[in-house]
Amino acid sequence: MNTRDKPTVVAEPRKERRKSDEWRTALTRIEPNKILMRGYPLDELMGRLTFGEAIYLLFMGELPSPGIGRLMEAMLVSFIDHGITPPSTLAARNTATTGAALRACVAAGLLGFGKYHGGDIESCIQFLDNGLDMVRKGASLREAAERLIEGCKENDETPPGFGHRFHTRDPRAARLFQMALELEVEAEHIQMIRAVEIALQEHCVPGEKPLPVNIDGAIAAVCGDIGIPPSIANALFIISRVPGIAAHADEERVRQNPMRQIDPKDHTYDGPSERRLPERRK
C-alpha cells in the first residue's frame, strides 16, 4: 500500500461482548491434551469404533447399535466410486490435470454434485414421507404409491430415487435392502419405496426404459427407517464419494500427462479383472 494521505488508525468503539453473541456447539470439546467427541475421548474411540461408526456418533450424538453400524458401513461403501462416468469425477480430473493440490481437486469434485447429481437423497426422503403421510391417513401402500407416481407424471418428473443412466437394475440397492432385512431394520420407508417400484414396473410400457430403485433411493429409504434425518443423509452421501473423487484425482496426477484435454469416451480400464472376495472375507 502506498498511501499519499497519511493513514489513520480509527479506534473502533470498544465492542462489548454480549450474552447474545454466544453460540453453542455440541460436537467436539477441545481441552489441553484432550479431544472429546460427543463426550468420548477421541483416542479411546481409536481402535474401538470403525470410521463408519465414528461418523454416526459425530452426526447423531450416540453410538450406533451393531446392526445400524453395519448398515452405515454398507451405505458408505456402496457409493464410494462409480468410475469415470460422473461429472463430479470429471471436474476433479480436469482440476488435477492442471497440477492443482489434491484438496482443490476434491473440492472441485464435490461442487459437481448438483440438482441432477447426488441431489436426490433429500427429495427422496421427502417423497417417501409424503407417501407415508397418505398411509397414516388411511391409504394402502399401493394407493399411496400410485398417487406419488401420478404426482410425478403431472410435473413430468422422474420419481426421486428411481432410474439410472447406466444400470437397468442397481445391484447396490438390492444388496442394501437385503442387508436391512437381515439386520431387521427394514420398516415403512423401505416398504414404501418398494411399493413405488412395483407400481412403476406395472406401469412400464414394453420398450420403455425401466425405472428401478437406484442407490440414492435405497440410501434414502434406509436412512428414513433408521432415523437419520434428510440433511444428515445428504452429508453421508457426500462423505461416501470423497474417497472416489480423491482416488481419481490422484490417479490422474500419477498416470497422465499434465494439461491434457480429458475426453471421457477415450478411456480404457486396465485394472484387475473381475474377482471374488477370499473365503475368510465372506
Binders of its own copies among 229-258, rule CB under 8 A? 231-232, 234-235, 238-240, 242-244, 246-248, 250-251, 253-256, 258
13, 206, 207, 278: which one contacts its own copies (CB under 8 A)?
Answer: 278
Q: Rounded to the nearest 10 degrees, what angle do helices 230-255 and 215-226 cross at? A: 140
Which is closer to its own copies, CB of 137 or CB of 281? 281
Question: Kind of pairing, strands 40-41 and 34-37?
Answer: antiparallel
Site residue total, its own copies (CB under 8 A):
148
Query: In terms of residues, how long is the chain?
Result: 282
For residue 158, report the phi and psi dihedrals to the nearest 5 degrees: -75, 135
Q: Which residue stretch of 133-141, 185-193, 199-207, 262-270 sits at the interface with its own copies (rule: CB under 8 A)?
A: 262-270
Q: Minimum distance from CB of 79 to its own copies (Å)? A: 9
Q: Which residue stretch of 21-29, 134-142, 146-154, 197-205 sits at the interface with its own copies (rule: CB under 8 A)?
A: 21-29
13, 15, 154, 279: which one contacts its own copies (CB under 8 A)?
Answer: 15
Which is closer to its own copies, CB of 154 or CB of 270? 270
Quick check: 152 binds its own copies (CB under 8 A)? no
- Of 253, 166, 275, the closest CA to residue 215 belongs to 166
155, 156, 208, 261: which one contacts its own copies (CB under 8 A)?
Answer: 261
Quick check: 209 binds its own copies (CB under 8 A)? no
User: 219 near 72, Cβ under 8 Å?
Assistant: no
Between the alpha carbon of residue 172 and those of residues 168, 239, 257, the distances in Å are 12, 17, 34
User: 67 near 185, Cβ under 8 Å?
Assistant: yes
Quick check: 5 binds its own copies (CB under 8 A)? yes
Quick check: 171 binds its own copies (CB under 8 A)? yes
Binding mask 81-100 for its own copies (x = CB under 8 A): xxxxx-xx-xx--xx-xxxx
124, 134, 135, 176: which one contacts its own copies (CB under 8 A)?
Answer: 176
DSSP states of 196-260: HHHHHHHHPPTTSPP--B-HHHHHHHHHHHHT--HHHHHHHHHHHHHHHHHHHHHHHHHHS-TT-
Quick check: 36 binds its own copies (CB under 8 A)? yes
Distance between CA atoms of residues 49 and 28, nearest Å: 16
Quick check: 77 binds its own copies (CB under 8 A)? yes
68, 118, 128, 186: which one contacts its own copies (CB under 8 A)?
Answer: 118
User: 137 near 158, Cβ under 8 Å?
Assistant: no
State whether residue 37 is helix, strand or coil: strand
